[in-house]
Amino acid sequence: MTTATLLTLDINQIKQLLPHRYPFLLVDRVTSLEPGVRACGYKNLTANEQFFEGHFPFKPIMPGVLMVEALAQLGCVALLCKEEFKDSLGVFTGIDGFKFRTMVQPGDRLDMEVELVKMRGPIGRFKAIAKVGDKVAAEGEISFSLLKNSDIVK
């Protein structure tokens, strides 16, 4: 890997690749990107996140399923920035072996990393890890399928 293949993306560039919007866009910045291979990025969590209101009012923590979703979105960025996948949508086909190891709270920065493990045709799998500081918050594997936008019923 050469540094010439590494990219960074701001929120506006992420929005060009992903269809997600507030409150469901869960990647604020991509700090390192090797298209089609791996990506690192983060989500800054504030007390204003809608999910903190009800999960839980007395001890707000980020739901584990949203950590997985944030990692899946980062994985999509890693793939959708490649020209061959430009007009595609990434969808979940499964999650495997996920462990949630520490709570993520308002004020935390959720640092994420995904790496492509396998891809055959439009179906693949990412190894994913999310951390707060040096503590692992969540880790596991995410399976996905890429759908062509032209095949999606609107």
Give the count of domains, the chain.
1
> Worst-scoring range by mean pLDDT, 76-80, 82-86, 92-96?
82-86
Question: Residue 73 CA to chain centroid, in angstroms?
Answer: 3
- Is 129's pLDDT higher than 50? yes
Classify burial at 15, counting beta carbons within 10 Å of its beta carbon; exposed 0-12, middle 13-18, buried 19 or more: middle
Catalytic machinery residues? 55
CATH assignment at residue 74: 3.10.129.10
Q: How far is CA 37 from CA 23, 52, 97, 130, in A?
A: 27, 32, 21, 17
pLDDT per residue as tens digits for the range 94-114: 999 999 999 999 999 999 999
Segments forming the whole domain that contains residue 31 = 3-151
pLDDT confidence of 3, banded at 50, 70, 90? very low
d(CA 108, CA 126): 24
Say what the pLDDT of residue 154 is: 58
